[in-house]
Every structure is written in C-alpha cells, then in structure tokens.
Structure 1
C-alpha cells in the first residue's frame, strides 16, 4: 500500500488556527486515528462522501491487528482468521468420543443459561459450568472424556481470548454470530485492506500522542511534534491502547467514557505458524491435543486444507498466550513442535516459523475485547458514543459483533456516518457532502477467495 505521507498537508506548528483559515478549507475535514480495518472503513466512507480525510497509523503498515505476513512466500494471516484429537501419549481420540463429548459440552453450556436466570449477580462462566456439573452428575466426564471436555473449553476460551474464569456468564453468549459457517481468506486480508485504502491520504509511522478539542475542531499531535487539524476525528485505536492511556485527551474524556474503557476486558490470542517442506499430517481442519486442564490443551489450525500451503498454526489464548510471549521466537516454535510431536511423533522439523505477540505489541496491547465478570452490559454502547466531535470505532465498540473483523468494519462505517451527520449539523450545508449509497458498487469492491474449512 503506497503511503501518501507527502500529501499530509493539514499540519500546524502552533496551537491555533484562525477561523478564516478554517473557512477556506475546500471540504469538511476529518482525522481518522488508526489504520486497522475499522479506521480504513471510516476513512473510505468519508472520502467517498467528499470529506477531506487524513488517516494516521502508528505502524509502518496498514491493517492493525489484521496482519498478513508473506515471509513464507505466500500469505499467512497472523491476526484475525472437523478435527482430529490426540492424547498426551500421541494416541488419537476415537472420533465417536469427540462427537459425544462435544454434544455434552453443548448441553452444559446450554444449562448455564438456567444458572444465569437464577442469580441476580454475575459470575464467571467457569463457576457456572461447575454449578451445572454439580447439579447434573451425568454431564461429568472421567479419564480421556474429561480431557476432551477440557479441550472444548480451551477452544471456547480461544473465542474470547481469555480464560473461562475471566469471562462473564451474563454476556458470554450475547454476540450475534453471522451465518455461513467458518471461512478462511485464501489470499489473506491484505487484498481487502489495499482495495479499501486505494486513494486515501495515509500517514504511516505517525503515532498519535495527544488529541485536543478546541472551538469546533480538533488538533491531533503525533510523536516528533507534528500536529494535524480538522473539524472532527474518529478514534479507532485498539482498546488496549486506550486502557494504557497512551493517548492524552484534552480536555480529559468524561468519566462515563473512562469507566467504559476500564470495565471492558481485553483478551490475548497468539499464533505460532510453522511452515514445512511437505505435508505429513491428516487432512482435517484442526489437530488438537487433550489434557486434564484447558490450559494444557492445545490445537493447530491446518492451513493446507484451506490454502494448499504446508503450514500448521498453533493457537494460544488467554494467560497461555501471555506466557508464550515470554519466550523467544525460536523457543516458542520449539514449544509448538513439542506439542505437535506428542500427536505425531514422526513430525518433520519446520523450515520457517512466525510468532505473533499481540499482548505486548505497543500498538495493540491485546487481541480483542470480551466482557469481564460483574461489569455493566452497556459498555459497548458507551464506548461507541461520541464525545462532541470525537467519534469512536473498532471491534470493542461493536454491540452485535465484538472481537471480529466484520464488527470492526461495520463500526468504522457507522462512526463515519455519525461524523458526517455532526458536520452537516454544524455547517448546515447539505451540498457539501454526498454520502455514497451502501447499495452502490464502488471501486473498493473486489472478488474474494474464501475457503470453507
């Protein structure tokens, strides 16, 4: 993606821009902070609506937590993206047992709804599961079946990027899941990002440090002292960055906004991608290893089944994901190989490997949001609510599809439309902005190759 950094002309050296200068702007101006899918969607929407938009991204690339790596010579998504299970001794778990325990797990989770209805106070999903098992001894699993149940819990924890004792019973199943089953972007997410970003004014390597609201405008400062001025701004930085107070707001954000940022959880999920020179594993979607606890369980995503490339991706979520980040890349890859060899003792050594570190990455500080135990249910709405001419977008503000790429995209579009309406109200000139209808074809639309795995 070509950065048009030389075209970032809405800069100032001092803290003041006259109203006369502002009136000479050819079109209403908006600064979008964050170059992930949400920020790109917001910038694309406003640009198509004849706004003057500049997008500031702290990294040297677009995408944010959507990151397609080409180190292997082909695309591998290191961010957002039927099974064979093995025990710790490398013996494959009978498929009938996998199916049977899977059905039991679904019944256990269904029973947690009753626990939720019976208690006015919130509790962790793990505590609710314990109550269900105490009430329904027939759901209890022993021996290998217990380990398979722990593997299913491990998979559920990966969905939230958090451990079950941290997930809110009240909110864990309130997401609206899209129809169509699971899919994988065969060519990675970058073709989507690049198409959406075509023609946008993008400034890479611009880490925002301060956002100041003044009069009816905003001044956004970045590392190095450079500043940008506009009528409004859309903040799409990850929730982890907001929680760490890495951006100063002037004036400070209202208390209800600060509380919403604090009360929403940020999970962590990492990937260890292993590239081999040949395929030696079964042609299944997932290769999983069962264990007495969910923490000790694990699984590999088989990219070969979807893309034809000889790659296995080891997935780690929650506390385990942070533990992985304490290792060097080589040590992390060696750990993943130890897990693989427990299942397939004759596994070959990888020729290359990649390791993500979303939890300690200063530009993300986590993977995606989840509901903490005992917190209010309106946090997503409060996080989404604008503060005058500051608008907020990203997966963490999506009430229907949090922790997802499509949730982040839709909030970017929604924030852009809210921003557009605010500008129209301020200037009172409907001719200044003509929003592109969602039903129209735009040049950003491209055919996608999606593999149903």
Structure 2
C-alpha cells in the first residue's frame, strides 16, 4: 500500500488529516462509519470514493501531528523491546488511562512521585468516557455525542459536599444541560397513550420501601433484589402489563444497566443515597463539543507535558507478573515494563473476560470477587433526522412494546431546548440482554427495528429514514467488555473488599472497586485518588490514606467468606430434616 494518491495530490486531504487531532472526529471514517480506536490507522477518502488506510505514524511525520485530545500520541514503549529482551523500569505502572488511572497518577504527582508510566490500550485517554463525531450541523461540521458516560450525576446540593466531577465540570467550563427525567411522554404500539400515572404508583411504592433499603445495611438484614423490595411497597406489575413493565424498566433497570431482579436493593439504595442524597438530586447531560473527557484530559495536563513519554497510548497489556518485590507488565507489541508497584484500573468486564493473564494466577478469593459482581451494558443508539417529528416539549419518550420488556423503550431528544437545539438528534437506549442482541445485529438490521417502533409511536406521521445512525458495541470492545459495574443480590461488603484489595504489589482501582459509588464516574475518581495516595505512602514509608482507613500498607482481604446459615442450623426446627446430604 502506498502513502500517496495515484495522482499525488496530497494537499486535498490536509483538512481531513488535521481532523485526526480533533477528538470529536477520531472515531469516524469519511463515510460516517465507526472505526474502532486502535490508533494504528487513519482513514482517507479518495476522489473515487474508495477508502484506504494510512499508517498514523506516517501521518504524524507528514503533518507534525503528535497529539490526540491535547496529549502525547506515543504509541510504543520508549525503551525496552522484544528484540533487546530488556524492560523499561518505573516506580509505578498505572494500567489504564481512564478516570481512575489519570487521577491515581495525579495523586502520585501530588506526593512528589514523578516516576510512573500510564499504559493505555486506546489512542486516547478517558476510558469509557468516550465521545464521537456524529451527524452534521448546518455548516457541515459534526455534532459530538457521548458513547459512554453522559451525565454528571449528583449535583445541585446545598448543604453537603460537592461531587468532584461537578467541580471538574466547572473548572473546565464543561457545557451541560439539566436533564428532567420527569418530562416523559408515553407511547405503545398504537401511538401516544397516557400511562404517566404509573410513575406516581411506582414512586409511592419506592417511598414506602426506602427505609427497608437503608435498614438492610444498617441493621444487617438479609438483602433482597429491587423487584422483591418494590413488591413489598405495592408495586407488582403483571408480566403482561407492558405499560407497567416499561415504567419498571425505566425506573428500575436503567440506573444499574441490569434487570431489577439481579440488583441488590440494599447496596443500590446506599449508592443512590451517597450520590443524590449527598451531592444533590440533579443530572446534567454533557453537550460540550470537546467531549466529556475534556475534564480527564485537563487533569492529566496538570502533570503530563506535551509528548510526555510517561503516557503510552496504543499499548495493549497481555500479561501481568506480580510478587512481593515488584510487577512486570508484558504488552502485545513485545515490549515490557518492570515496576515496584502496579495499579490495574481495567474495567470489571476486562477482568471477568480474562483479557489479561496474571502470573501467578490471581488467588481464589480475588477471582471469586471478580466473578461475583456484574458488568452492566448501557447502549445508546443515535439517530439524526432531517426534521424533528417528535414533541418539542418533552425530553423523554417511553415506548411500551406489546410483547417484549426493554425493547427500544427509552428515546431521549437532544433537540430539546438547552441541549443540541436544531440537531434533530434522537437516541434510544437498550440494556443488558437487549444490548447484547443489538450488538449481534448489523446497523441496518437495528435501524429497521427502531424505525418500525417509531412508526408505531407516531402513526399517521411521515417519518423519514435517519440521515446518520450509530451505536457502540461495548461488549466487543476488548478494553471495556461492558459499560459499568453493578452490585448483585447476595454479594457482601467483604466480597467487594476482596475486589478492591491488592495482591502483593499489584493494586486495583476503578468505579467497580468503589463500595459507595460503584457504577458512577465519581466512583472512579475517588478510587483512583485513594489508590494513588496509598501507593505513594508505601513508596515513601508513611501512611497516606485519604479516606481515613486505619491500616497502612496493603488492603485487607478475606480469604474465606462465610454464608448466612451455619451447617448446624440445617435442622428439623428449620424445616430441614435429616441434615446435609454430604
């Protein structure tokens, strides 16, 4: 493959090449198709309309492009290669450049530790805070939409602490719009049907059982799932009452990206209280053209220089060897890194899918904790139309399928006032099994299904095909394998502590390791800060625990965790005659 056009007219593509440095355009090829951010190729459109790949390093040499998202595009380890057999050494290897990894490195920097390396799979930092260019404005430039985290959740409080993500949003002048989740219009397969009264019934039941949720943890009561708890409050939707099932999905499944029958009521209640009760009730959707990751890039820029060799992008970790004396990280490109300590900020999905090998194998208590928790999938499917055919006065449209719970139920308008006005962009959300299903479909198949739903919702309205259509496939992304974590029924705090505990000099952090803010971006912020501070304390020989933990050094873990019923309780009095069968 050559690096020139057949006629040598390279200049006509300079604008497109320059756009490679724009984070809002890095995930689309010129046809509007999504390109996985592997960082190894760029895409150019030729006069004939064909597409061909150019090596990114060639483009950088050609144009002097050395950064993506304002930070160094350093796609290989600066020293240590498979050919020489030597490894680059650092004090701390931070594996993953999402919120947790970037904030952990900042915590090290704040403790005057500068000898660290951040290793990131993608060609950008931010992790699951990931945006893309989408559609087209009147001037021909694209909009920017968020594929992963979209909201600053928990803001607007007056008496408590401020959410650190909201603080960063204000620090970097992030453009946001207040989401009103009470602004809902309801539909079924016959068109607009008002069943908003069901929200009142749901809320009344939720109020009745809120104390039960808090008492589960406070009084050490047996947990239950969200569906069971809501039934105690009087919310028991019939399996064939599809309007009630749609409301149940919107109010129950969405927060955890998992079915209500799987989620712990006790820990879901506490997570909601810690976030919305402590920080404030508001959710702000990010509309900033720089993308939500601007706050992560901004924090990284406080300690990383341009072209900083401590940031290694396009580097896939394949194997981690750890011991009481250090950690060795092996990468797919044949390079390796040795470190006194390593912090693994990979998503729970990456750990569950064994995308990285550990040597020695992680201990049973650690592997059990990894598999006990669940990784939810929250898939947003974006559509732009040449006109907005939906109500302008509502942010949310809820659809009740006649026969399938969770079948393209929630549509949200980005054309609403204060958002991307005039964009004619609508997105629909699917979760869990439905998200897995649409990942297996082609874009064309998914679009056909959604258009059939929209035409049911708006009978008699001429609805055109979308001019732009896109959605991510989170479970096929080797660096994510899902959207965010969830706390399942039957999983204790001690089991969660095993998830966050270190194994020798290998540490773990991320939203999944946050007991109070799991599933939230601020959970990753808190966990990154805490792990970075604790590792700094170990290096410097003093205790640095920002959350007031009594023990210094390694984190506590539980090699064996007991259940709720001792073997001596399997008796006739408890309805179990004859003892255990083994």
Establish whether TM, by shorter chain, passes 0.5.
yes
From the superposition, tell whether residues 71 and 34 of structure 1 become closer, same or farther in structure 2 (CA, over 3 Å): same
Q: Does 1:386 align with 2:502?
A: yes
User: How far, CA to CA, are the matches of 1:417 and 1:12 in structure 2?
Assistant: 31
From the superposition, tell whether residues 120 and 192 of structure 1 become closer, same or farther in structure 2 (CA, over 3 Å): closer
Residue from 374, 382, 387 that aligns with 1:265 = 374
Q: Does 1:162 align with 2:278?
A: no
Superposition deviation, residue 420 in structure 1 = 0.6
User: How far, CA to CA, are the matches of 1:395 and 1:98 in structure 2?
Assistant: 33
Q: Is the 8 A contact 2:230 2:236 kept in 1?
A: no
User: How far, CA to CA, are the matches of 1:114 and 1:396 in structure 2?
Assistant: 21
Residue correspondence of structure 1 range 145-224 to structure 2 within 5 A = 146-155=241-250, 156-175=252-271, 176-177=274-275, 178-187=279-288, 188-198=291-301, 199=304, 201-214=310-323, 216-224=325-333
User: How far, CA to CA, are the matches of 1:222 and 1:331 in structure 2?
Assistant: 37
SS, match of residue 186 in structure 2: strand
Superposition deviation, residue 241 in structure 1 = 0.9
The superposition leaves residues 244-272 of structure 1 with CA deviations (integer Å, 9 ceiling, x where unpaired) of 22212223323222221111111111110
Q: Does 1:356 align with 2:452?
A: no
User: How far, CA to CA, are the matches of 1:388 and 1:98 in structure 2?
Assistant: 52
Q: Is the 8 A contact 1:10 1:229 kept in 2?
A: no
From the superposition, tell whether residues 421 and 15 of structure 1 become closer, same or farther in structure 2 (CA, over 3 Å): farther
From the superposition, tell whether residues 128 and 211 of structure 1 become closer, same or farther in structure 2 (CA, over 3 Å): same
Residue correspondence of structure 1 range 41-440 to structure 2 within 5 A = 41-48=103-110, 49-72=112-135, 73-81=142-150, 82-93=183-194, 95=196, 97-107=197-207, 110=210, 113=213, 121-130=222-231, 132=232, 136=234, 146-155=241-250, 156-175=252-271, 176-177=274-275, 178-187=279-288, 188-198=291-301, 199=304, 201-214=310-323, 216-282=325-391, 283-291=393-401, 294-296=405-407, 298-305=409-416, 306-308=419-421, 309-345=423-459, 346=461, 347-425=463-541
Which stretch shifts more, 7-16 or 85-94? 7-16
SS, match of residue 54 in structure 1: strand
For structure 1, the 5+ residue unaligned runs are 23-27, 436-453
User: How far, CA to CA, are the matches of 1:297 and 1:115 in structure 2?
Assistant: 35
SS, match of residue 407 in structure 1: helix
Q: Is the 8 A contact 1:153 1:294 kept in 2?
A: no
From the superposition, tell whether residues 247 and 140 of structure 1 become closer, same or farther in structure 2 (CA, over 3 Å): closer
Superposition deviation, residue 184 in structure 1 = 0.8
User: How far, CA to CA, are the matches of 1:112 and 1:343 in structure 2?
Assistant: 38
Superposition deviation, residue 12 in structure 1 = 5.9
From the superposition, tell whether residues 110 and 215 of structure 1 become closer, same or farther in structure 2 (CA, over 3 Å): closer
CA RMSD, Structure 1 to Structure 2 (Å): 3.1
* Bigger Rg, which one: 2
TM-score, normalising length from structure 1? 0.82
User: How far, CA to CA, are the matches of 1:4 and 1:371 in structure 2?
Assistant: 36
User: How far, CA to CA, are the matches of 2:267 and 2:323 in structure 1?
Assistant: 38
User: How far, CA to CA, are the matches of 2:377 and 2:237 in structure 1?
Assistant: 29
Which stretch shifts more, 72-81 or 85-94? 85-94
From the superposition, tell whether residues 51 and 125 of structure 1 become closer, same or farther in structure 2 (CA, over 3 Å): same
User: How far, CA to CA, are the matches of 2:366 and 2:342 in structure 1?
Assistant: 16
Superposition deviation, residue 414 in structure 1 = 1.3
Aligned residue pairs, count: 414
User: How far, CA to CA, are the matches of 1:226 and 1:98 in structure 2?
Assistant: 57
SS, match of residue 328 in structure 2: strand
User: How far, CA to CA, are the matches of 2:435 and 2:339 in structure 1?
Assistant: 39
Superposition deviation, residue 180 in structure 1 = 4.2
From the superposition, tell whether residues 66 and 108 of structure 1 become closer, same or farther in structure 2 (CA, over 3 Å): same
Which stretch shifts more, 244-253 or 351-360? 244-253
For structure 2, the 5+ residue unaligned runs are 1-67, 136-141, 151-182, 547-582
Q: Which has the higher contact order (CA 8 A, sep 6+)?
A: 1
From the superposition, tell whether residues 61 and 143 of structure 1 become closer, same or farther in structure 2 (CA, over 3 Å): closer
Which stretch shifts more, 336-345 or 118-127? 118-127
Superposition deviation, residue 170 in structure 1 = 3.8
The superposition leaves residues 387-429 of structure 1 with CA deviations (integer Å, 9 ceiling, x where unpaired) of 232221111001111111111122111111111111112xx8x
From the superposition, tell whether residues 169 and 142 of structure 1 become closer, same or farther in structure 2 (CA, over 3 Å): closer
Q: Is the 8 A contact 2:327 2:341 kept in 1?
A: yes
Superposition deviation, residue 122 in structure 1 = 4.3
SS, match of residue 491 in structure 2: coil
